[in-house]
Structure 1
Amino acid sequence: MALAAPTALAEPAGQSGQAVPAASGSALGVANGARLQLRWELQRKPAGAQLPQGGTPARFILTNCDRQPLPGSGWSLYFTGIDRMPAGAQSGGLVLEQVAGGLFRLRPGPDFQGLAPGQTLEFAYRHNDSVFMPSRSPGGPYLVYDAAPDAGVSLQYTVATLTEPAQRGKVGSPHSAVSPEDTYWRNARADLLPASNVPPVLPTPLRLQPGASRLALAGRPNISAPAALANEAALARSLFPATLAASGGPPLRLTVGAVEGHASSEAYRLTISAAGGIDIVGNSAAGIAHGVQTLRDLMPLPGAAAPALPELTIVDAPRFGYRGFMLDVARNFHGKETVFKWLDLMARFKLNKFHFHLTDDEGWRIEIAGLPELTTIGAVRGHSAKPGVRLQPAYGSGPDPRDASGSGYYTRADYKEIVRYAAARHIEVIPEVEMPGHARAAVQAMESRYHRLKSAGSRDAARYLLNDLDDRSEYVSAQLFNDNVINPGLESSYTFVEHVVRELAALHREAGAPMKTIHMGGDELANGAWEKSPASLAMMRKHGLETSADLWDYFYDRVDAIVCKYGMVTSGWEELAARKTTVDGASKLIPNPRFTRNGFIAYVWNNTPGAEDLAYRLANAGYDIVLTPVTRMYFDMAHNANPEEHGVNWGAYVELDTVYDFAPLDIMKDAPEAARVGKDRLTEYGKRRVRGIQANLFSETARDPARLDYLVMPRMAALAERAWAAAPDWTTTADPAKAAALHRSAWSGFVNALGQRVLPRLDLEGEGLAYRIAPPGLVLDNGRVLANHVLPGMTLRYTRDGSDPTPASSPVAGPIAERGMIRVAAFDRKRRRGPVASIESR
């Protein structure tokens, strides 16, 4: 499908995309976009009004604060959104149009008379979906005049404070408001433990045998390790603060050797003895690194008056060989320093697979030698009137191609540095190249290359072309695109795939960490794609293929052959291992028998209603799988439906205990018995196919590192607990009462360790991690206010006059007997405050 002028955006005069003088409006005698104020807000449903199911009434309020008028025609106000919006809606004399994907615009209708200085207009409409979270509000608005079509000027923009979920009061709705009382009773499922009873290590080790004494840390240790363990020795050395004497500390020995009873290369044994010092033995360097991270957990918190370590012996090994975290840098870009930070945190929690989501519709983030357009076009978002220069704005990135989250990529040198950094921490980098859907950045970049070379007379112009220019297929992707698909009917598509795979494999070899697998996408190919493509239809006739599902198989047969050619195994989302079919007229995914012998690794995210057992069906059919269910392991999901929470909610809400309670080998353990009827369970054969688990962070709503911090931590600690620690007793105990007691004990240990030891250490070590501080729970009890927190041991402070608590406010030391509007918040060791909860005590 060819580029359409409104959907691809072109080179402005100047570097910023905002430098055309006429963009200010002053030279045209019209309003300067920078002096327009735009406000977006939800509208409360009028009493007794019946609105269509799922709709959300909302409005834009535009105020002209300039001395010049906004004319009655000749301009467009662009903005981006995550949700579908009612294209064609009219209000206030304006018309709402979809440009492409999530890019929309308001344009003057025939009756619009203009907006004089000081005037305000309202554009009222109804969102197609239920929207009550600020992260799902429209973003990045800018004004473009027809007379200066390449110049977009950002508006002053505010989103009104959202005060309530759409489903407030609907008991049992997943979108119901979560009150301070709800939070209190949820938090009450854990007990506050004395410091002596807090588990000393997370994730929980297999065996911990305490000793009777303590090893005093009179100075920094004398570390002995072979040269091959230089990285691990440096890590161990970094655990001991500079405030300790330079010498006089205990011996610390690092040794590769057999850990009895454990075949895993990541197994280790840690021994701390008052008489003999510290010994860490691992089946490999990776095992030793994990032992050093356990030693970090055992170290006294910074500032301890008389630092010492407990005597003990720990023997440990992981439950799963695959313990992953996926970071999406395509939707919103994050630089290599942010990647380094998360690799360090992964290593702390003994995670070992970094799934690097490098490409998608909205960005291509890796430099590929020989294909510069992938980054000069595919890695840049911003406004333009001409096709083929850069990608359109998305996820609030606005008109400026210098926007740090909309534009950016890793150079070849950057990428190799990331791979080396990960390898030094025993983390495997698994790059993902999304295809055949979710590929708009690549498709547009390669079409631009084609047009450039063709106009220059090149005979090789179509060598890497990814789309059939005569394709008239009709489809809409999950992100609302109709031009984001690589075409399997073009030989140039396979030439492109091989070029990218070869270059990525070369980067890993040059970094000293050869790839074992590469993730080749496969996610969410829209229905209808390819069906009216002459190239695809010709390929189907040539190879005797009857349906687009057969063409899918053909495509991935060839992709897999390319991956195997470079000595790797193909990984991808579950659709690689599944086949679309229909049952009773409804779409259904079933295991695809074609690829069971190819060794595909399927990452299974879809456990939505109707597909709860898909992962198990694939494993039982012979596919190796990585469990990454959306309802448990998508860290871009908001914690709950309260408007102050950040994230998306299309799949679930994911609280800390939602992650912790995940039972990988019994994914429907918490479901009602009726919901389990007819669902497949894992066979013994299938259990052997479960490689491990992974959490995903798609970055649509995460434009800055602090937002990543908030969404990932401390949920990453719960991921680690499920991925590393042995199956907890409460998942295998048949007696419900006993299982509940075991769960309460284990959950109490986990949250106390986080609140009293893990997060305070991150604070005191100055990691700069803006992790989520949850709001406290509050209830009234006989005239007193009871307060608690999901992480017992977090400092709670309160006021009684309705003001927000500060670090100087009174600490909560028990029931609060004062009267008034009681407001409570939690604070970390850096005096950073979490959300405030309120309750009135009379």
Structure 2
Amino acid sequence: MTRSLLGISTIVASAWIAGCQGDAGVVSQPETEPGDLGASESGESRESSLQTRASGPDIAITFRPVDNTAADDGSFFRGELTIENRSGIRLDASGWQIYFSFVRRILNDGEGNATYKQNLAAQGLKVQKGGAARSGEYFVLEPLANFVPIPPGGKRVIPFLAENWAIVKTDAPGGFHIVFPPSTQAWALKASTVWDASDPKQTKRFPGDVVPTQTPALRYEENAPLDRVDLDPASSLIPRPKSVTTGSGQYRLGGKIGIDYQRGLAKEANYLKSALGDVLAGSVETHERSRCGSEIRLVLDPQGSFGAEGYSLSIDPEKGIEIRGADSAGVFYGIQTLRQLVPVDAYQAATRPGGKKTSVQLPEIDISDTPLFSYRGMMLDVGRHFQSKQTVKKLLDVLAFHKINKFHFRLTEDEGWRLEIPGIPELTTFGARRGYDPDEKQQLHQGFASANDLGGGDNIQGKARNETEANGGKEPTYQGFEQATLNYVGKGSGFYTTKEFEEILAYATERHIDVIPEIDVPGHARAAVRSMEHRYAKYAATDPVKASQYRLADPNDTSKHTSVQGYTDNFVNPCLSSSYAFLAKVVREIKARYDAVPGAKLTLIHGGGDELPSLSNNVWWQGSPLCKANPETKDLGDEQLKDHFFKKFHPIITATGARMTGWDDIIHNGLQLEGFVPMPWSNVWQWGREDDAYKYANEGRSVILSHATNLYMDLAYNKDPDEPGYYWANFVDDSKTFNYLPFDVFAIATHNRMGHPIAPSEWDNKVRLTAAGRANVLGMHGLLFAENVKSPELVEYFAFPKILGVAERAWNTHTPTAADLPAAWKQFVNTLGQAALPRLDFYRPVDVRRELPRSTGINYRIPLPGAKVVNGQLLANVRYPGFNIEYSTNNGATFVPYTGPTGVSGTVLVRAKALNGHVGRTAKVN
């Protein structure tokens, strides 16, 4: 698909020269002239011809950014779509519609500046929000009467203007499908995107963006201080324990292994038994009694000096292994440390049939350990893109391996509702499904270029048959952007049944992880709102009471708002009693799931509350007649209505025995909710809210740090067009999570998101954390929002190794100072390269009850090497010492190991290689 652009440079150039320097709406002539091809086909005849093709019309659409610096203020950019008509169908003015997803608003005709103005009408085209609701990032492109047809074999370049910028391939539009009215059948089109990373107009957000684009030479300089250091046993562990003493001896673990455990530790013993069975040949037995000669002893020691979740681990050449914990969680974390001390080669051997070792040598060691924070978490959003219970379970196990103990489960979003609620089936029969349905009678419209993945049921025919086909014939590795994610790869549909959710709770509980469900309201609630409108329409004629029972919107509300994501109909109305009946029902059913799982703790319920758009140019509910008719709300302004909503939602949550948490937007207006735990997130440097978390903690509120600048794992690792993810708050890599200083974020706030230095004096007037406030910081978590997390592999790519920095900073009681960070970071990357990531190469989730498919390995991000050629010598390095580097001088036909400076000529390619043989992206050095 990419090669379809190779022949259009003349067209592109002539289009811009002819008029796009002063007008973004010039028509470029088709490469093949239409000629006399007869009358246009009707929708019916076109549809008939398409039905003979299982794959639908062969039409390819390619997006290319042209100039992000077209507006000095970054308000819009110039881009282009190329339509290549490889089908036998003539695209004329008689009525076709191309729908697609695009996270940037396309400017209206006439918008722009003195140099560039949008003028699609001159090209015989119009574009508007797609579907009857005209809501979200769903667009439709349609011809006007003056549209010059694109014949079979023809191409058309469509220049256009869109809001802000597009500097990474994730920004590209996708999910293209065509409809020929009056037919209602949609056919998938082939989408791709091309970028020139060397062109600053395609990689700068606007002229003031000074963040450098990634190059091998830049990486070489960044990696230069990160040379290899030898690891002692303590340095191989993530998170690093509080106290470690090593001896010179070793203990051989193998053969017939006995695990002796105290009453109350049966689950931990069985977990350890399963884990050892995965890596060692021989037998493992557990005994609930004191048994002389047992190799491993698990002991509860609540009177010990560890503190909650703390433990000690002793490996003695004569006495064997003893793990003592302040509680069962502490014992469990001691088990995880023991697992990390097992040599990597044993895990590697266990992946081969019959390859398990009969024994392993463990170091003589004494560890005493306790966590810094009681809340060490990760948030996973499954509303934008659904992830299966198997994917979630695997993730939970590897999180537990690194002593993460909270799983914030974002179950609802504008784009999907993911939990079955008995009594409200519409939430999942309608709100958990996406597809082509312009009137949204049966499902939501597509979002973020996905519907029901590559499967059926979404009324989009002709999708690729597999991910390789969706990726243009190349099997995706998900080590960076893959064009398959523009071609419907991504589970827009899906939900957890009550049984599946209970399974997840049981699995998490077994690993001492508390699951914190999020129901995001009153914004980000379109899936729920539209589902309840669907329910209303279903019952309005036959059972008006049932129809209105859980309705969330006032049908006569004239309020106008547009959310950050482009939605205009995604608010729950705070003035309806049915809104609170809905929330009470949902919360009761969630509580019932926990009650059904022995040991599962519902400690917190997240009530959402984020991103209601600014009232400077939006109205939330002032146009609602039902708000004006309600005595409680008739005199309230919009901010007061939001407070009213959470005053009523709060007791619904606390009635379960859980505390309420939520995004700190909830309390921006000064709202007081007893026991509320804010998650402050909007700390973007120089946006004004950098010290909110410290204000809350100093006021006596419990706080969970959720800072976007360092903890949002869905943000792209760095500025590279092939690096997936957004970047609105920052570029976030593993150095951002590791170097995060929870008690002094200003020490790391050295540059703003556009790369400009920030003077330390700029923070002089910001609130600092007091000693009393520090005690109110419950902890921190890494957050993975899912706009671009379209496969299980991408869950792992975005999360690892970033979450390991979160695990280290949340557990390790020795928080470095800003001055100590460079040395600490050097040590950490060595731990990653020599120990932690090789362990993940061969990681197998502990599967006590045989719930998961047998699989090994985590698709963590493999770094691109740094490299440069000096005087004909290739010099290369890598961020994680211990990783192999390979290079090619024959355009990638073969790669050979790089062992040191070596003579090269011509084009040189480099890549890094993990211990399990997986390779990262290839970079061209010169």
Tell me the TM-score normalized by structure 2.
0.81
Residue among 139, 142, 145 paired with 1:104: 139
Deviation, 1:830, is 2.1
Match of 1:16 in 2: none
- Asked whether the 8 Å contact 1:23–1:152 carries over to 2, the reply is no
* Matching of residue 289 in structure 1 with residue 332 in structure 2: yes
Match of 1:568 in 2: 658
Q: Give, in whole Å, the separation in 1 of the partners of 2:70 and 2:595.
A: 64
Deviation, 1:293, is 0.4
- Asked whether the 8 Å contact 2:383–2:417 carries over to 1, the reply is yes
- Asked whether the 8 Å contact 2:816–2:824 carries over to 1, the reply is no
- Look up the equivalent residue of 1:774 and give its one-letter code: P
Tell me the TM-score normalized by structure 1.
0.89
Change (3 A) 1:482 1:618: same
Deviation, 1:629, is 0.6
Q: Give, in whole Å, the separation in 2 of the partners of 1:24 and 1:269.
A: 72
Change (3 A) 1:342 1:197: closer
Q: Secondary structure at the match of 2:362?
A: strand
Match of 1:537 in 2: 628
Residue among 207, 220, 223 paired with 2:243: 207
Match of 2:343 in 1: 300
- Look up the equivalent residue of 1:507 and give its one-letter code: R
Residue among 568, 571, 581 paired with 1:485: 571
Match of 2:892 in 1: 804
- Asked whether the 8 Å contact 1:190–1:744 carries over to 2, the reply is no
Match of 1:447 in 2: 533
- Asked whether the 8 Å contact 2:74–2:206 carries over to 1, the reply is no
Match of 2:764 in 1: 677
Q: Give, in whole Å, the separation in 2 of the partners of 1:384 and 1:770.
A: 35
* Matching of residue 361 in structure 1 with residue 404 in structure 2: no
Q: Secondary structure at the match of 1:542?
A: coil
* Matching of residue 64 in structure 1 with residue 85 in structure 2: yes
* Matching of residue 329 in structure 1 with residue 382 in structure 2: yes
Deviation, 1:727, is 3.4
Question: What's the CA shift string for 1:768-827, capped at 9, x where partnerless?
Answer: 31110010112345653321111111011122x252375xx3322222333443322110
Deviation, 1:481, is 0.8
The within-5 A match list for 1:287-436 is: 287-303=330-346, 307-398=360-451, 401-402=457-458, 405-436=491-522
Match of 1:825 in 2: 911
Mean alpha-carbon deviation: is it higher for 681-690 or for 330-339? 681-690
Q: Give, in whole Å, the separation in 2 of the partners of 1:704 and 1:729.
A: 35
Q: Secondary structure at the match of 1:130?
A: coil
* Matching of residue 769 in structure 1 with residue 858 in structure 2: yes
Deviation, 1:34, is 2.3
- Look up the equivalent residue of 2:302 and give its one-letter code: A
Match of 2:56 in 1: 34
Question: What's the CA shift string for 1:252-280, capped at 9, x where partnerless?
Answer: 0011113632322x000000000000000
Match of 1:699 in 2: 786
- Look up the equivalent residue of 1:484 and give its one-letter code: N
Mean alpha-carbon deviation: is it higher for 86-95 or for 411-420? 86-95
Change (3 A) 1:462 1:246: closer
Q: Secondary structure at the match of 2:312?
A: strand
The within-5 A match list for 1:546-565 is: 546-565=636-655
- Look up the equivalent residue of 2:172 and give its one-letter code: S
Question: What's the CA shift string for 1:578-637, capped at 9, x where partnerless?
Answer: 21xxxxxxxxxxxx1533xx0101111110121111111222223211101111000110
Q: Give, in whole Å, the separation in 2 of the partners of 1:53 and 1:552.
A: 32
Change (3 A) 1:521 1:320: same
Q: Give, in whole Å, the separation in 1 of the partners of 2:52 and 2:334.
A: 67
Match of 2:313 in 1: 270
Residue among 471, 475, 479 paired with 2:557: 471
Q: Secondary structure at the match of 2:147?
A: coil
Deviation, 1:509, is 0.7
Q: Give, in whole Å, the separation in 2 of the partners of 1:22 and 1:727.
A: 70
- Asked whether the 8 Å contact 2:407–2:514 carries over to 1, the reply is yes
Match of 2:126 in 1: 95
- Look up the equivalent residue of 2:97 and give its one-letter code: S
Deviation, 1:456, is 1.8
- Look up the equivalent residue of 1:183 and give its one-letter code: R
Match of 1:599 in 2: 675
Q: Secondary structure at the match of 1:217?
A: strand
* Matching of residue 666 in structure 1 with residue 744 in structure 2: yes
The within-5 A match list for 1:671-820 is: 671=749, 672-731=759-818, 739=819, 742-765=820-843, 767-780=856-869, 784-799=873-888, 801-804=889-892, 809-820=895-906
Q: Secondary structure at the match of 1:223?
A: strand
Deviation, 1:54, is 4.4
- Asked whether the 8 Å contact 1:665–1:682 carries over to 2, the reply is yes
Match of 1:6 in 2: none
* Matching of residue 229 in structure 1 with residue 305 in structure 2: no
Change (3 A) 1:81 1:131: same
Deviation, 1:28, is 8.9
Match of 1:15 in 2: none
Q: Give, in whole Å, the separation in 1 of the partners of 2:398 and 2:45.
A: 45
Deviation, 1:135, is 1.3
Q: Give, in whole Å, the separation in 2 of the partners of 1:827 and 1:71.
A: 50
Deviation, 1:355, is 0.4
- Asked whether the 8 Å contact 1:615–1:625 carries over to 2, the reply is yes
* Matching of residue 633 in structure 1 with residue 719 in structure 2: no
Q: Give, in whole Å, the separation in 1 of the partners of 2:67 and 2:222.
A: 30
Change (3 A) 1:659 1:220: farther
Residue among 184, 187, 193 paired with 1:153: 187
Change (3 A) 1:286 1:387: same
- Look up the equivalent residue of 1:814 and give its one-letter code: G
- Asked whether the 8 Å contact 2:236–2:836 carries over to 1, the reply is no
Mean alpha-carbon deviation: is it higher for 341-350 or for 403-412? 403-412
Q: Give, in whole Å, the separation in 1 of the partners of 2:527 and 2:508.
A: 27
Match of 1:130 in 2: 165
Q: Secondary structure at the match of 2:830?
A: helix
Deviation, 1:655, is 1.6
- Asked whether the 8 Å contact 2:303–2:326 carries over to 1, the reply is yes
Q: Give, in whole Å, the separation in 2 of the partners of 1:49 and 1:200.
A: 49
Deviation, 1:121, is 2.0
- Look up the equivalent residue of 1:160 and give its one-letter code: V
Residue among 261, 268, 275 paired with 2:305: 261
Deviation, 1:484, is 0.3
Mean alpha-carbon deviation: is it higher for 219-228 or for 443-452? 219-228
Q: Give, in whole Å, the separation in 1 of the partners of 2:725 and 2:805.
A: 18
Match of 2:545 in 1: 459
- Asked whether the 8 Å contact 1:86–1:96 carries over to 2, the reply is no
Q: Secondary structure at the match of 1:147?
A: coil
- Asked whether the 8 Å contact 1:755–1:791 carries over to 2, the reply is yes
- Look up the equivalent residue of 2:429 and give its one-letter code: T
Question: What's the CA shift string for 1:736-764, capped at 9, x where partnerless?
Answer: xxx3xx43332222111111111112213
The within-5 A match list for 1:600-619 is: 600-608=676-684, 609-619=687-697
Deviation, 1:708, is 1.4
RMSD (Å), alpha carbons: 2.6
Deviation, 1:538, is 3.2
Aligned residues: 790
Change (3 A) 1:459 1:198: closer
- Asked whether the 8 Å contact 2:436–2:445 carries over to 1, the reply is yes
Change (3 A) 1:259 1:292: farther
- Asked whether the 8 Å contact 1:33–1:143 carries over to 2, the reply is no
Deviation, 1:74, is 2.1
Q: Give, in whole Å, the separation in 1 of the partners of 2:50 and 2:797.
A: 45
